[in-house]
Structure 1
Amino acid sequence: MEIRPRNRREFLGSQPDVDFPPIQNGIDYLLSVTLHLTHGDPPAPRDLKYAILHLQAAVEVLLKARLQREHWSQVFKNPGAATRARFESGDFESCTTDAALDRLAGIAGVTIPDKAVKTLGMLTKSRNALQHYGLTTSAPAVEARAAEVLTFLMEFITAELQPDLRTDEEKLVQRDLAVIRSRLGTITSYLKQRHNEIRADLAPVADSVVECPLCAQFAVQVGFPDPQCSFCHMSWVHSHGLLFDYLRAFDRPGLLTGECPKCGQEEMLRQTRVAAAPADPRTLCFGCAASLGPQIATCSDCAAFYEPGEGDLGRCPRCLALP
């Protein structure tokens, strides 16, 4: 009896098909993210690399899954040129994450918190840098950002995606989400432990502790020529560098720089959030940590910020003292 080797078609016929509907696909990426972030203590650079890449992939898939429910054409880069045939074949260029967020808000009526939008934007930048140019960054910062995005996505899945799932799909999703939640708990426990370690040192100076532009934790004390983040260990060679990165990372309304009336450096920033009172932004100098009250003005002579007083004629105390 002659035994013929099996051909490629026979081998392929014995293998299961690749079947990942959008929501299950996105959740599978999240499983990968949590696995990489809990693989070691601390996670290896390779684990952090794939955590970033897969987290960004999960964001894109899950946001667009919700957008697709509004209408399949909305996931196209140009909805006006969308065709059903191209959609079903997957032969099209999809919209960016930013566009998906805009369409979810403007078309689907889905509210995405501003903090989540900012965090997602920073994740996209990290992923692009990593994939196209290479990325050198702080491991704790990656973990902190990932935990924020994971927390947002878990809430997004629960509120926006789960209610319309079929029963069979719902069971699979619930199973995978239970695994993700357990691993996320491990990650957030680490973050809480790290916060507890630095809290005692930062508490006495909480009025001059700002958010780190890299990890977004309240862990950078201003007023030093070479500031450093106590959480992720990011450091700057000069307070100018910290101020520049802060402005780029936290583009909030009212953020304006001006000259400090105490040290004379143009490193005073309005609407700065500090650890002591995050909900009460103040005007703070990144160079010397001088702080001004809620009522401030700009000197008509030198443009420095100052606290206005009766009879100051629109001039700061320093300029008023000049002959």
Structure 2
Amino acid sequence: MFANPGGAKRSDLEDGSLSTCTVEQTITRLANLANVAIRPKEDKKLKDLASLRNRLQHYGRLHDAKVNRYVIEANAAEVLEFLTHFVDTELLPRLPPPDGETAESLTRIREGLDEIRGYVAARMRRLRPHLDPVKSRTVQCLNCDQCALVVGDKEGAYCWYCHYRRGPDDVALAYAYEVLDRTEWSAVRGELDPVYWCPACDVEALVRGVLTAADPRNPIDLCFRCGEAFSGMEE
């Protein structure tokens, strides 16, 4: 896909000198021109994986300690999930039935996605001895999105899945911003503030509306500093 379709030339396409559009441009065109529904989380995952790919291609390895094989595998599974759904719902209904080679490639992609899903699930099962005793204060990780981030310790937060660590001073605010998409303007919009003062430890580290591994359907109010959970709180 040309970065500038208005200036596209067939000669550039044939000799490989065409300038292709970025991931951001592609997502924008899919949403605005093709009316493809892309959720904010999918948008973020697509851009994150493209960034990881570029860094690996140009530098050979990643210099960010937060990014490891576990993060890449979990991210790749999310992106592959989106891409296979895109192919099934947006492309295949508009194209002739795929030929043998194309159909075989699609089958291999789906099988590979199942293997990645299976690996992520198997790793989470292996981590149960560590996570089950602290399910009431285990939340979605800011780094890999797996429900394996244990909060409520004086040392801060730790993700058993991707080994991500976050200090105790800002983990609550970071979680509210990055996972719950809250900002300092949330209250102005009639929503919850990012963080509140905890009535148990008297630290501004209480996040309201948190989903934990203990009860992933019913949100609670959880202090990311002392680990106390509350219900029935009012403004």
Q: Where on the TM-score scale, by shorter chain, does this alignment land: which range? A: 0.7 to 0.9
| Cα offsets for 1:80-136 (capped at 9, x unmatched) | x44455774565544332332233223212112333223223323433444456514
Q: 1:118 to 1:294 in 2, by over 3 A?
A: farther
TM-score, scaled to structure 1? 0.58
Unaligned regions of 5+ residues in structure 2, if any? 187-192
TM alignment of 1:192-271, pairs within 5 A? 192-226=121-155, 227-236=157-166, 238-240=167-169, 242-243=171-172, 245-247=174-176, 249-250=178-179, 252-253=181-182, 256-271=194-209
* Matched residue type, 1:186: E
Identity %: 33
Larger helix proportion of the pair? 1
User: Alignment partner for residue 276 of structure 1, among 192, 197, 214?
Assistant: 214
Q: Is the 1:209–1:275 contact (alpha carbons within 8 Å) kept by the matching residues of 2?
A: yes
Name the CA distance, whole Å, in 2 between partners of 1:130 and 1:264: 44
Q: Which of 121, 131, 146 is the aligned partner of 2:47?
A: 121
CA distance in structure 2 between the aligned counterparts of 1:123 and 1:276, rounded to whole angstroms: 30
Determine the C-alpha separation between the residues in 2 that align with 1:281 and 1:131.
41
Partner of 1:223, secondary structure, is strand
More strand by share: 2
1:96 aligned onto 2:96: no
Q: Deviations over 1:65-91 (max 9, x none)?
A: xxxxxxxxxx54456x44455774565
Alignment partner of 2:139: what SS? strand
CA distance in 2: counterparts of 1:266 and 1:77, whole angstroms = 47
Measured in 1, the distance between the counterparts of 2:89 and 2:56 equals 31
Instruction: Give the Å deviation of 1:200.
Output: 4.6
Preserved CA contact (<8 Å) 1:284 1:290: yes
Q: Give the conservation status (yes or no) of the 8 Å contact 1:258–1:268.
A: yes
Q: Deviations over 1:221-257 (max 9, x none)?
A: 2101233212222233x22354465356426245612
Of 285, 289, 313 in structure 1, the residue corresponding to residue 223 of structure 2 is 285
Cα RMSD over matched residues?
3.0
In 2, distance between residues paired with 1:250 and 1:275? 15
> Would you say how many aligned residue pairs link Structure 1 and Structure 2?
220
